[in-house]
Amino acid sequence: MASILVVDDDPDHLELTLARLRTGGHEPIGADSPARALELFQSEPLDLLLTDLEMPEMSGLDLLREVKESDPTVPVVVLTGHATVGTAVEAMKTGAFDYLQKPIHAPDLLVVIERALREKELVSENIRLRQELRDKYHHKNLVGTSARMREVFRLVEKIGPTSSTALILGESGTGKELVARAIHEASARSHRRFVRVNCSAITETLLESELFGHERGSFTGAFARKKGLFEIASGGTLFLDEIGDTPPGVQAELLRVLQEGEIRRVGGTEDIVVDVRVITATNQDLKKQIAEGRFREDLYYRLNVVSLQLPPLRERKEDIPLLVEHFLQKKAGGGEHPRPDPRVLALFNGYPWPGNVRELENVIERALVLCEDNTLTAHDLPEDLRVFIGSTGPEDFPTPSEVRSPPLDLARASLEEMERRHIEQVLIAVEGHREKAAQTLGISRRTLYEKIKRYHLGRREFS
Ligand SMILES: Nc1ncnc2c1ncn2[C@@H]1O[C@H](COP(=O)(O)OP(=O)(O)OP(=O)(O)O)[C@@H](O)[C@H]1O
Ligand SMILES: [Mg+2]
């Protein structure tokens, strides 16, 4: 049952309107002043506001403004006398759903109310679905819709709250650092520090002092006592990146810390208890490193309590359109941004992305600099990408047999349009493979067929 608030300073008129609404099957609440209406509005959820325009202390127009400001989704219908038709027009401009002229004709009242309630329902549904889409495809800055990325999101949520060490594996640019941060965010440690250290970038001595700290004079250049990152990250997470390149001496020390939960500063004698969750990442094959004697097997087992393998981008191409949109939005800082022309997406789909998501991000960044009007075209892409596809001019680019839909303005799109576009994009990404498309969309094949028919997507070629 919808809750409708009626505001009128004329008690007889208020009673009459309430009675009419009750006859129509509603359960309205009455307020004899805008002040009372605002009070009610703030204390309980409302589906619709019906207000007189002319009232002594505050006009219906001001009430409308206040209500719209605090909840723009609530439809407001205004009641106007003959003298206030001009104000009614202004009310419409301010965001009123509709107006009714007094004396109110009861059937008109009910029709307008029904329409307004229906609209409110649609708006809420639209917001809810959009939120759902966002939650489904975005996970703490991680974007992805492929089954494999969704599995990654699930694992992040699962292992986040535990304090166990985690090993993240994947090619360069697949998002290992982003996943490490997401695990930290999903943990009870999220309000404490996340500290990253690159284990391959510095010498053994420096890395040791970085991680464990040092006492004054413990080596040349150690002028003062220094805290290590294990101490600095205490209570939080320490992310050891490129763990595969850790020098042997540091590996031994790390093993000790993980076993005992204590560190000793370089040149120090005291053991310091630390409470740090360790997450590591590498793009190396650790098993091979172990076989070659370059990585300690005992340390490997300590680090590999849970492991997460990030798939390369070429194995989850259905994520590309979403990632492209994500990077365009990110670079635009939330403002308007250019849209890729469908050929660009088709090109992206055919490229193997050796540098994975990072390469895609760089390509987008570069294209944005080169792009002239509001469309990213194949001309804005790097030479090697175009050469790979084996074409020289945009004319030869693989392109769908029919021109695809123009860019969509999300803020103004209807739910149907969003659905149609989304299905279209997924079909493009999976090259028309309906089984895969249904899986990605999380619907049955039958539902997909129905939607393809409804939106006339069937005759297209998506590869
Ligand atoms: N799923 C994703 N959604 C959004 N952005 C992503 C995703 N994966 C990676 N990125 C972005 O791609 C870039 C590379 O990611 P990241 O640095 O985490 O990769 P990496 O696996 O650590 O690479 P490397 O092994 O080279 O260090 C970053 O800018 C990151 O924000
Ligand atoms: Mg990295």
Enter the pTM of the model.
0.61
Task: State if residue 177 touches ligand 1 by the CB under 6 angstroms criterion.
Answer: yes
Instruction: Please enumerate in sequence order all residues whose Cβ is within 8 A of that of 95, keeping only pairs 6 or more positions apart, or say none.
Output: 64, 68, 72, 76
Query: How far away, in angstroms, is 287 Cα from ligand 1 center?
Result: 23
At residue 407, does pLDDT exceed 70? no
- Say whether pLDDT at 402 is over 80: no
Averaged pLDDT for residues 56-70 = 87
The percentage of the chain sitting over the pLDDT mark of 90, rounded to a whole number, equals: 41
In whole angstroms, give the CA distance from residue 157 to residue 437. 25
Ligand 1 pocket test, candidate residues 358, 362, 364, most atoms within 8 A of CB: 358
* Own/partner long-range contacts of 328-337 (Cβ < 8 Å, ≥24 apart): 328/364, 328/368, 331/364, 331/365, 331/368, 336/374, 337/368
What whole-number distance in Å separates Cα of residue 441 and Cα of residue 420? Answer: 12
pLDDT at 194 > cutoff 50:
yes
- For residue 410, is pLDDT > 80? no
**Cα–Cα distance for residue pair 234/212, rounded to 1 Å:** 12
Write down the mean pLDDT value for the chain.
Answer: 85
Number of H helices, E strands in the chain: 19, 18
Atom of ligand 1 nearest to the CA of 310: 21
Judge contact between 52 and 9, C-beta under 8 A: yes
Task: Please tell me the number of Cα atoms within 13 Å of 417 on its side-chain side.
Answer: 10
Q: Among the atoms of ligand 1, which is closest to the Cα of residue 175?
A: 18
Say if ligand 1 is within 6 A of residue 242 CB.
no
**Type and span of the H or E element at 98:** strand 98-101
The model's pLDDT over 247-304, given as tens digits with 9 standing for 90+, comes to: 988 999 999 999 999 998 988 888 999 999 999 999 999 999 999 999 999 999 999 9
* Res. 308 pLDDT band, cuts 50 70 90: very high
Residue 174: its pLDDT value, please? Answer: 96
Q: How far apart are CA 362 and CA 428, in angstroms?
A: 23
Residue nearest to atom 13 of ligand 1 (CA): 358
For 413, counting Cβ atoms within 10 Å of its Cβ (0-12 exposed, 13-18 middle, 19+ buried), the class is: middle
Structure confidence by residue, pLDDT tens digits, 224-243: 788 899 999 999 999 999 99
Q: Which of 12, 186, 184 is nearest to 104 (CA)?
A: 12
* Listed residues: CB within 5 A of ion ligand 2: 177
3-state secondary structure of 14: helix
> What mean pLDDT is predicted for residues 116-129?
81
The pLDDT of residue 399? 40
Among 116-120, 269-273, 321-325, 424-428, the minimum mean pLDDT is found in 424-428
Ligand 1 atom closest to residue 171's alpha carbon, by position in its atom list? 25
Ligand 1 centroid–CA 15 distance in Å is 63
